[in-house]
């Protein structure tokens, strides 16, 4: 499958058209941003790691019955995916208090939640991805009632499966972001699942193993991304 014209470039990925109008190539970059693009930098080989990790996790979820945009892993930085009409709603699932949840509610970081919390955010860089609820999604037509039900169902099921997957590898899935899109009348999981969009802590030590190391200048960023890659793409600990 050959790359043709560039059709979209975001902060972490580039999409290219292919000979098949149904498929695009998703190219993973090493560029890193934080705080709505205020902080910028590079994480060496991040694109390679995120492509490999996402490919592994998409295949894992496909085996569980989740329909995703993943078609084929093409190489170090490229993944062949189905072309989606993106639903402008980010789904965030939380198992441990961290990030914006601690700021909004004053909950101490690291508090284990009694059960997962599912939240929605409107995909808009200009508005800094504001938090929304079911009523906003309905009134503004961002997703139908059936699609919204699917986002909730998939979000919680994916969390349950990934939580166990990571736990087997001595990683705690603190929280993570999912994006979905429409393809031939179906809702598919899209984008990526990687240390960029997941908070991952070591199960025993709570050491951060994700992009928070870049956000907060914690050091050893590449080392921890490589560790996640080895644990996810290798055998359970």
Contact at 8 Å (CB) between 96 and 114?
A: no
The residue range of the domain holding 89 is 85-220
Same domain, 51 and 108: no
pLDDT value of residue 102? 97
Answer whether residue 15 shows pLDDT above 60: yes
Looking at residue 35, its pLDDT comes to 86
Whether 180 and 203 map to the same domain: the answer is yes
**16 and 55 part of one domain:** yes
- The answer to whether position 234 is within a domain reads no
146 and 49 in a common domain: no
pLDDT the model gives residue 235 = 60
Task: Tell me if 56 is assigned to some domain.
Answer: yes
Give the chain's domain count.
2
Instruction: Mark whether 91 and 198 lie in a shared domain.
Output: yes
Question: Is 227 inside any structural domain?
Answer: no
Does the pLDDT value for residue 40 go beyond 90? yes
Residues 124, 187, single domain; the answer is: yes
Q: Are strands 31-34 and 23-28 parallel, antiparallel or unpaired?
A: unpaired
Domain boundary, last residue among 61, 82, 103: 82
pLDDT > 70? residue 123 = yes
47, two tokens: 């694109």
- Residue 234 has a pLDDT of 87
Ranges 125-129, 159-163, 223-227: which has the least confidence: 125-129
């Amino acid at each position: 499958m050959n790359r043709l014209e560039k059709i979209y470039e975001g902060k972490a990925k580039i999409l290219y058209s292919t000979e098949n109008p149904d498929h695009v190539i998703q190219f993973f970059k090493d560029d890193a941003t934080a705080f709505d693009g205020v902080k910028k930098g590079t994480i060496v080989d991040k694109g390679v790691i995120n492509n490999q990790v996402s490919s592994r996790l998409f295949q894992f979820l496909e085996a569980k019955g989740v329909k995703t945009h993943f078609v084929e892993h093409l190489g170090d930085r490229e993944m062949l995916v189905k072309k989606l009409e993106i639903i402008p709603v980010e789904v965030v699932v939380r198992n441990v208090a961290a990030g914006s949840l601690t700021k909004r509610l004053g909950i101490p970081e690291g508090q284990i939640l009694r059960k997962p919390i599912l939240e929605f955010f409107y995909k808009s860089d200009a508005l800094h991805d504001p938090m929304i609820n079911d009523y906003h999604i309905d009134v503004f037509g961002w997703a139908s009632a059936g699609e919204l039900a699917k986002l909730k169902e998939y979000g919680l099921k994916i969390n349950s499966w990934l939580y166990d997957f990571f736990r087997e590898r001595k990683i705690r899935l603190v929280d993570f972001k999912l994006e979905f899109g429409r393809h031939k009348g179906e809702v598919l999981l899209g984008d990526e699942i990687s240390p960029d969009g997941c908070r991952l802590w070591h199960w025993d030590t709570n050491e951060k193993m994700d992009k928070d190391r870049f956000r907060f200048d914690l050091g050893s960023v590449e080392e921890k991304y490589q560790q996640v890659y080895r644990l996810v793409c290798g055998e359970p600990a």
